[in-house]
A = this chain, B = another copy of it.
């Protein structure tokens, strides 16, 4: 893509109200734009990153049998009334009061905006499940969630409208649910590894979702809102709400390691919901002996837009973002220096076209602006590889990784073979 055509341009200044790093860099780089507090447009660059995040999630969800679908965002009050969450979500145990947008239309019908989708999946299941042979069911979607947070903050990390991948599984038994729950835990670990995160899995309370304990996937980040405790030796971890000890304690699990405290950003959570929903919404199946039994249920969330913000919080320097190649908006950023006034332009064009033919997704900074401005934008946008062509590079291309200082002169062949690795 030509940078001269990319919408919008980068900005030299961050918005005045921006406090968090993701807010500053994502807005300055042209990844996101704020419509109102807690509500963001994913601009073309931001959408590219989120689409790649979604694809990684999708691949791992499909690998454990997930079937993608798409559920509605506007929900009738009646369905939320069945579990009592029409009321309780307004005043839930996590303290997030009045988090569900509820309204009446001009014809007097009452609705909630999608705060989560358990009730909607339950309604689907009761219409479509009869026998044990119809289970298990694994379904998910990527869609919008609305939560009327008292304070929208931390850039795109805590919005009132945001994207969620929510996955739901239904089972004949607690054992089957818990086996799958553990499979999901592994799938989530794969996802967050592929995204490039350093993360911990911590136990947490189920909040408005369940009375069981649940698990959170927490990215270690100095700027995180959450506080977690984890063992420096084994996989034990708990969040602040449920941990009863203090930093430096002996690990309550392995008894070898020490408890470490860290700030963190929650990027995913998994809930073994049991039969609570099935009992309230009458989702039963017939077992092999013809007995009516409630369906065992779990739900599993990842916020791709929150992941976008978290990636910036943990991977940047003072000049801008440093994207992991797996989710970068482009593979390479091609920069022509003084391209307008020399043969550099035609060499840059040739290089751009050859890169595209080699299936490299490249952003070409073809603008008639100074080298300094181009380099600053490249650092801000954070594409993993910068390729410079100038009078000095001749028939070669200057290669520099965003996270390294070293510049190397390479042939086109060398560039593509490195990019294709």
Interface residues of A (CB under 8 A from B): 5-9, 33, 35-36, 39-44, 46-47, 50-51, 65, 67-76, 79, 98, 101, 103-107, 113, 120, 123-124, 127-129, 134, 137-139, 141, 144, 146, 148, 160-161, 163
Contacts and interface: CB of A to CB of B under 8 A. Distances in A.
Given A103-B104, A139-B7, A74 B161 contact: yes
A43 B72 contact: no
Given A39-B74, A104-B103, A127 B33 contact: yes
7 contacts: A9-B128, A33-B124, A35-B71, A41-B70, A41-B72, A74-B113, A101-B103
Majority SS of interface residues in chain A? Answer: mixed
Given A105-B148, A120-B35, A40 B9 contact: no
Contacts of A36: 76
Nearest to A128: B8
A106 B113 contact: no
Contact of A74 (B98, B141, B146): B146
Contacts of A160: 74
A69 B98 contact: no
A67 B7 contact: yes
CB-based closest 8 A-B pairs: A103-B103, A8-B128, A44-B67, A42-B70, A39-B72, A47-B69, A41-B71, A36-B76
A71 B8 CA distance: 14
Given A105-B148, A128-B9, A69 B44 contact: yes
A170 B5 CA distance: 13
Contacts of A144: 73, 144
State the oligomeric state as a number of copies.
Answer: 2
Nearest to A39: B72
Given A35-B76, A39-B72, 11 more contacts: A8-B128, A35-B120, A41-B72, A43-B124, A44-B67, A44-B68, A70-B163, A72-B161, A74-B113, A74-B160, A98-B107
A207 to B, nearest CB: 20
Given A41-B124, A73-B161, A6 B67 contact: yes
A123 B70 contact: no
A98 B106 contact: yes
Contacts of A106: 98, 148
Contacts of A44: 67-69, 139
Nearest to A160: B74
Given A67-B6, A105-B148, A139-B7, A123 B35 contact: yes
A43 B69 contact: yes
B146 A40 contact: no
Contacts of A75: 35
A44 B105 CA distance: 30
Given A41-B120, A104-B103, A161-B72, A134 B67 contact: no
Contacts of A105: 101, 103, 148
Nearest to A47: B69
Contacts of A51: 68
Given A103-B103, A134-B9, A69 B46 contact: yes
A4 to B, nearest CB: 8
Contacts of A69: 41-44, 46-47
A25 B41 CA distance: 36
A47 to B, nearest CB: 5
B65 A35 contact: no
A46 B120 CA distance: 17
A129 B41 CA distance: 16
